[in-house]
Structure 1
Amino acid sequence: MKVGPNQRDPVFDAEWLAHRYDPEQDAVHFRHVPLSARARATFLTDEYLGVEPAPVPIGRERISQSALPNAPLHFVFHSAFCLSTLLANALDLPGRSMSLKEPVILNDIVGWRHRGADGTRLTAVLLDALQLCARPGPGRRAVVVKPSNIANGLADGMLRLLPQARALLLHAPLEDYLISIAKKQIDGRLWVRDLMVKQLREGLTLPVFSDEDLLRLTDLQVAAVGWLSQHALFHRLCRAFPERVRTLDSATITASPASVVQAMFAFYGIALSDEERAQVLAGPAFTQHSKDGTAFGFSARSLDYAAAESVHRDELTKVAAWARVVAETAGVPMALPNRLC
C-alpha cells in the first residue's frame, strides 16, 4: 500500500526539488527551492541555485511506495538555442502552471544510462523521477518540464511512461542554430563536439557517418550533424506520437508570439484568459533575457544574429548548403510535421 504525506515531507512537498539521483545508494537527493527561486533561476542547476551543502537523501523504495500528489505533466524537448527557456518562463504562470527548467535529476539518469545502467531498473527510476517532477506547486494545475537537450534520447521513453503527456518539439532554423554556435566562439564549438559525443553514446547520430568521418568534420559541420540528428529524432517522435507532439521553431516565436502563447497553452490543456495571455506577453519571459535578466527584445536579437552572420558568412553559407545535401542523403526532411501553429 502506498503511504500518504506528512506535513513538509520532501517527498510530498513540491517546494523540495528532486535534484539528483544517486544510483549507488538508489536514492534521490532533495533540496528546498521555493517556486519563486525556481522562476528566477535560469536552470535548476547548482550553477544558478547555488550549491546545497546538506541535501536530503531519501531511498527510492520509499518514494515508489508513496502516493505522490501529481498534476498533468508535459514536456518541451528542444535542440538548443531556440528560445526554449523563454517558453518555459512563459509557462510558469501562478494559478495555472509551473515549469521545471532542465532539472539535473534527468541528466543524472542519462549519465547513469551511459555508464551501463540496467534497462528495467532505469525505467523504474525514470518513472519515479517524472512522478516527483509532477508534484504541483501551490496553486498550480499543470507542470511542464523542459529537460536539457542531452536528455532527448529519453524523450520516447518519457512519453511512453506517461501516456497522457504532451510534448512540444522546439528547434531553431538551421542557419540560426549555426550562427548561435559561431557567435559563442570556442565555447560554442566545444559544446557541439561534447554534444556529439553524447549523441554517439545514445545512438542518435546519423548512420551515414562513421566515427572516423565525424573526426574529419569542422566544428560547424559537427554542429550541423548534431542539429540533423536531433531533427531525425523529432521526426521519429512525430510518427510515434502524432496526436501528442507538436513542433515549433524559434522563428515562429519571434514572428507571432501571441499566436504561439495561445496555441501552446491550449495544446497543454491549460486554460488561459485573454487577460492572462496579455500578462504573459508583457511579462519577463518576453521582455527580459532568459539567461541574464537584462532587457530583451526580438529586434535586438535579430540585430545580434545579423552581426554574427556577417562575420562568419562564408563558413555559415558553405556549411548550411553542405548540411542540406547530408539531410537529403540521410533521408531527414528539413521541415517537421505536426506544426503547433
Structure 2
Amino acid sequence: MTQSPSFQTVMHDPQWLAHRYDPGHDAFHLRHVSRARRAAMPFLTDEYLGSDKPLILRRVDAVEHAPPASPIHFIFHSAYCCSTLLAAAFDIPGTSMGLKEPVLLNDLVGWRHRGGGGAQVARVMDEGLRLLARPFSAGEATIVKPSNIVNPLIPAIMAMRPDARALFLYAPLEAYLASIARKGMWGRLWVRDLFGKLLREGMLGALGIAPEAFLGLTDLQVAAAGWLAQQQQFQSLAGTLKQRVATLDSETFVDRPYDTLDALGQFFKFELDPSAITAIINGPVFGRDAKNGDAFAPGKRAADARSGVALHAEELEKVVVWARHVADSAGICVALPQPLIR
C-alpha cells in the first residue's frame, strides 16, 4: 500500500500547487504540477491541469506546515494585453517563477460574492498567498499574474504584502477594442460577463453612465466601459500605492521587450543579466502564442490587429470617440501614470 505523504513533505514541495479553496470544508485543494508543466500551460486552470484528483488538506494543517513566506510580486492586468506572455517570461530558475492565473484567487472572489465575510476571506487570502509563494529554489521570487476578475482585491492583496510591488499592464483602448471585435461572439459575451462583475463590485459608477442606459450600449461600448472602469481603478491605485506600482501598455512591451524585462526585473527587486534577457526574447517563450502554444511569427500580432481594425473600422472609430468622451468627463487617463519605461 502506498503511504500518503506527510503534511510537512507536501507543503515543503513546491510542486504541490495550491490550486483551489473550498470554503464549505475550509480546505485547500493541491495539485502536483512540475515546474516544466506550469511553464507549458497558458493558465493554471482545470482545463489545462487535467482531471487528476486533488490532494485535499484542511486549511489549518496546510498553513501549520507551510514554509515561511517568500518574496512575491504581481502583474495585474485588464485582459488582452500580453500579460500571459510577460508572466511566462519570468519563469527564470533561480530568480523567479511566474504563476499564470492561479484559480485559488478566483475562488476567493466567488466566495466573497456568495456572502463570505470580509475577515474570513482576508485570512484565507493571506494564507493562500503564502502557499502560492513557495519557491522552487531558495531566493526565488514568485510573480503572480491573477485573472483580471481578481482586480477588486488588489488593495487588500497589496496591504497584506507591504514588500510586494505590482505592475499594472493594459492594452491601449483602440487595441483592446480591436481584440474584442475580432474574437466575434465569444469576445462580446466575455466583455458582457466582465461588465456584470464590475457592476457588482461598484466599479462602473464613476463613469457617469446612467444605469438605465446600460441595456442600450452596444457590445463594444460595453467593452470600452469595462476597460475604462479598470483603467480608473489602476489610475487611482497608482496614486495611492505610489512607488510600489508601475504601469505598462502592451504596445510598449511588444515594441521594447528587452527594456521591459530589464526594467521590470529591477522593479521587482532583482536584476537580470543582459544575456539572460536576450535568451528569453530569442527563446521559445516569445516564439509561440502564449495562449495556445502555436508558433508566433514576427509581425503576426500586428497583422492580426490590423485585420481586426479593418473589419470593424466604422464601429471601432465611433466607440473610441464615445469612450474618450466618457474618460474626459470622468477624469480617467487613457495612458496611465507612473510608466515602467519612458
TM-score of the superposed pair, with normalisation by structure 2: 0.95
Per the alignment, do residues 140 and 37 of structure 1 end up closer, same or farther by CA in structure 2, a change over 3 Å counting?
A: farther
- Aligned AA (1:128): E
Q: Given that residues 170 and 249 in structure 1 are in contact (C-alpha distance below 8 angstroms), is that contact kept between their aligned partners in structure 2?
A: yes
Distance in 1, matches of 2:339 and 2:83, equals: 16
Report the Cα offset of residue 331 of structure 1: 1.6
Report the Cα offset of residue 260 of structure 1: 0.7
Partner of 2:212 in structure 1? 212
Report the Cα offset of residue 41 of structure 1: 0.6
Report the Cα offset of residue 242 of structure 1: 0.4
Structure 1 gap ranges (5+) = none
Per the alignment, do residues 222 and 298 of structure 1 end up closer, same or farther by CA in structure 2, a change over 3 Å counting?
A: farther
- Aligned AA (1:169): F
Q: Given that residues 21 and 27 in structure 1 are in contact (C-alpha distance below 8 angstroms), is that contact kept between their aligned partners in structure 2?
A: yes
Distance in 2, matches of 1:152 and 1:298, equals: 31
- Aligned AA (2:170): H
SS at match of 1:77: strand
Partner of 2:255 in structure 1? 255
Distance in 2, matches of 1:10 and 1:215, equals: 50
Greater shift in the superposed pair: 54-63 or 249-258: 54-63
Partner of 2:80 in structure 1? 81
SS at match of 1:117: coil
Q: Given that residues 12 and 69 in structure 1 are in contact (C-alpha distance below 8 angstroms), is that contact kept between their aligned partners in structure 2?
A: no
Per the alignment, do residues 298 and 156 of structure 1 end up closer, same or farther by CA in structure 2, a change over 3 Å counting?
A: farther
Distance in 2, matches of 1:156 and 1:203, equals: 15
Greater shift in the superposed pair: 116-125 or 57-66: 57-66
- Aligned AA (1:336): L
SS at match of 1:74: strand
Question: Where has structure 1 moved over 6 Å in runs of 4 or more?
Answer: none
User: How many corresponding residue pairs?
Assistant: 336
Report the Cα offset of residue 209 of structure 1: 2.3
- Aligned AA (1:89): A
Report the Cα offset of residue 7 of structure 1: 7.9
Greater shift in the superposed pair: 314-323 or 286-295: 286-295
Distance in 2, matches of 1:173 and 1:71, equals: 33
Partner of 1:224 in structure 2? 224
Partner of 2:284 in structure 1? 284
SS at match of 2:10: coil
Partner of 1:114 in structure 2? 113
Q: Given that residues 74 and 268 in structure 1 are in contact (C-alpha distance below 8 angstroms), is that contact kept between their aligned partners in structure 2?
A: yes
Distance in 1, matches of 2:215 and 2:142, equals: 40
Partner of 2:102 in structure 1? 103
SS at match of 2:110: helix
Partner of 1:241 in structure 2? 241
Q: After the TM superposition, which residues 174-193 of structure 1 pair with which residues of structure 2 at under 5 Å, given as runs?
A: 174-193=173-192
Report the Cα offset of residue 130 of structure 1: 0.4
Distance in 1, matches of 2:333 and 2:259, equals: 25
Q: Given that residues 39 and 92 in structure 1 are in contact (C-alpha distance below 8 angstroms), is that contact kept between their aligned partners in structure 2?
A: yes
Q: After the TM superposition, which residues 154-173 of structure 1 pair with which residues of structure 2 at under 5 Å, given as runs?
A: 154-173=153-172
Report the Cα offset of residue 281 of structure 1: 1.0
Deviations along 1:154-192, one digit per CA (max 9) or x if unpaired, are: 111100000000000000000000000000000000000
Q: Percent identity?
A: 48
Partner of 1:329 in structure 2? 329
Distance in 2, matches of 1:8 and 1:34, equals: 18
Distance in 2, matches of 1:44 and 1:329, equals: 39
Report the Cα offset of residue 67 of structure 1: 4.8
SS at match of 2:151: helix
Q: After the TM superposition, which residues 55-70 of structure 1 pair with which residues of structure 2 at under 5 Å, given as runs?
A: 55-70=54-69
Distance in 1, matches of 2:47 and 2:232, equals: 31
Deviations along 1:273-329, one digit per CA (max 9) or x if unpaired, are: 111111111122211110121221451111111011111000000000000000111
Report the Cα offset of residue 32 of structure 1: 0.4
Distance in 2, matches of 1:305 and 1:298, equals: 13
Distance in 2, matches of 1:324 and 1:298, equals: 31
Distance in 2, matches of 1:333 and 1:315, equals: 22
Report the Cα offset of residue 8 of structure 1: 6.6
Q: Given that residues 11 and 66 in structure 2 are in contact (C-alpha distance below 8 angstroms), is that contact kept between their aligned partners in structure 1?
A: no
SS at match of 1:43: coil
Report the Cα offset of residue 140 of structure 1: 6.1
Q: After the TM superposition, which residues 12-51 of structure 1 pair with which residues of structure 2 at under 5 Å, given as runs?
A: 12-51=12-51
Distance in 2, matches of 1:210 and 1:22, equals: 37
Q: Given that residues 102 and 147 in structure 1 are in contact (C-alpha distance below 8 angstroms), is that contact kept between their aligned partners in structure 2?
A: yes
SS at match of 1:169: strand
Partner of 1:338 in structure 2? 338
